[in-house]
């Protein structure tokens, strides 16, 4: 977890002065061989963050009779629930629909913001395709 002092963000949000923000990565470890990993916080439900934790795995293949390489793709479309520190609480099958973004800045897509000023997002210039949320 990184503690960041965001002076520019405080002014951009109209807070004035110095603001402290905490960045919590949404924790998720896919099965070995995972490809196309998507981890994104799409919103809040009570004191939890919900979103996607999906990926796919390619298996099989080889020569054999008839030649050619045949692989099988298994998709793991999942809905995850995290606590407010990014700890994984639950994983359930399903395909969450990404809401319309509130904004996109510097490679970060913000999906939701609650009354406490916390927000959920996907992507980051330094952590490609990882979901996270911040408490400001």
- Residue ranges covered by each domain of the chain: 2-135
Please report the pLDDT score of residue 5 as a whole number.
23
> pLDDT tens, 33-70?
999 988 888 999 988 999 999 999 998 866 556 666 77
DSSP 53-106: EEEEEEEE----TT-S--EEEEEE-EEEEE-TTS-EEEEEES-PPPPPPSEEET
With a CB cutoff of 8 Å and minimum separation 6, the contacts of 7 are 18, 19
pLDDT digits (tens, 9 = 90+) for 87-103: 999 999 999 888 999 98
């Amino acid at each position: 977890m990184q503690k960041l002092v965001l002076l520019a963000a405080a002014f951009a949000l109209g807070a004035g002065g110095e603001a402290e923000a905490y960045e919590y990565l949404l924790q998720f470890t896919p099965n070995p061989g995972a490809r196309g990993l998507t981890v994104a916080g799409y919103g809040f439900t009570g004191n939890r963050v919900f979103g996607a934790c999906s990926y796919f795995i390619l298996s099989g293949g080889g020569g054999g009779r008839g030649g050619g390489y045949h692989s099988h793709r298994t998709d793991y479309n999942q809905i995850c629930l995290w606590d407010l520190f990014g700890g994984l609480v639950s994983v359930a099958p399903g395909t969450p629909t990404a809401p319309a973004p509130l904004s996109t800045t510097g490679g970060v897509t913000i999906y939701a913001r609650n009354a406490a000023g916390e927000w959920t997002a996907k992507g980051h210039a330094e952590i490609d395709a990882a979901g996270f949320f911040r408490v400001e």
